[in-house]
Amino acid sequence: MTNGIPIAKDFELRQSLGKPLVELVGLASAVPLSRTQTAACIVDYRQINDGVTPSELTVYPGVFEMLAHSAELFDLCVLTTKNQKSAKRQLAATGLSDYFVGVFGTVRDDLSVSKDVRWIQAEEIMSRKLKVEIALLVGDRASDIIAAKKLGRPAIGAGWGYGSLGELIDASADAIAAHPSAVPKLVQKLCMSVS
């Protein structure tokens, strides 16, 4: 943590990745934080995240193939609690940005916006641009699955990501893909069952 704020002894970053930054900072801190302290930690986090170089970024094996196949069948977008500018920059640095028609992340001070609200915002923009709605979500954290469920949409758990298999099951993922190669068929199957 920054500004002399101690890190909680039981804090595990990998298990917390993907959560909104306000929540992540609260989990990481060993002491209760004021809104001002939380905001300062988020500013510091973003500065560090913006400094990540392309060589520090990795893409899970099979993701390029999954996206190439999926992008032939569907319009893909990214929903993230990460800063939108950073997300776009990192997607470009890894060569993934060409697969997505939109990237929707945190902008300005909407730090605590949940993923289901971000989904609604993204869908409004997508429907104006492409006349489509976001049919389902593929995510590796419980918060992804919960967002889809709040909106009555199916969700595929990305079993290769940061989240645990248990959290994806507990969040009621409609299907779980152990590897990216399983995603395109699961997407087709779930889309057919919804339509």
User: Residue 172 maps to which CATH number?
Assistant: 3.40.50.1000
Q: Can you list the alpha helix ranges (DSSP code H) found in 51-141?
A: 63-73, 84-94, 115-130
Residue 134: give the domain boundaries: 59-194
Six-digit token string for 45? 């986090």
Number of folded domains that form the chain: 2
Domain match, 97 and 189 both? yes
Domain match, 28 and 76 both? no
Domain match, 68 and 105 both? yes
CA–CA gap between residue 104 and residue 136 (Å, rounded): 15
Give the pTM.
Answer: 0.79
Contact 151, 167 (CB under 8 A): no
Domain match, 100 and 141 both? yes
Domain match, 69 and 139 both? yes
CA–CA gap between residue 133 and residue 137 (Å, rounded): 11
pLDDT in tens, the chain (195 residues): 566 888 998 888 777 777 777 888 889 999 999 988 988 888 888 788 778 887 888 899 999 999 999 888 888 889 887 778 888 999 999 999 999 988 988 776 555 567 777 777 777 777 776 655 667 889 998 888 988 888 888 999 999 988 889 999 999 999 999 999 999 889 888 877 765
Q: What is the pLDDT of residue 112?
A: 59
Count CB neighbours of 109 within 10 A: 9
| Residue 7 resides in a domain | no
Q: What is the pLDDT of residue 2?
A: 60
| Residue 133 resides in a domain | yes
Q: What is the pLDDT of residue 111?
A: 58
| Residue 8 resides in a domain | no
CA–CA gap between residue 94 and residue 67 (Å, rounded): 13
Collapsing DSSP states into helix, strand and coil, what is residue 77? strand
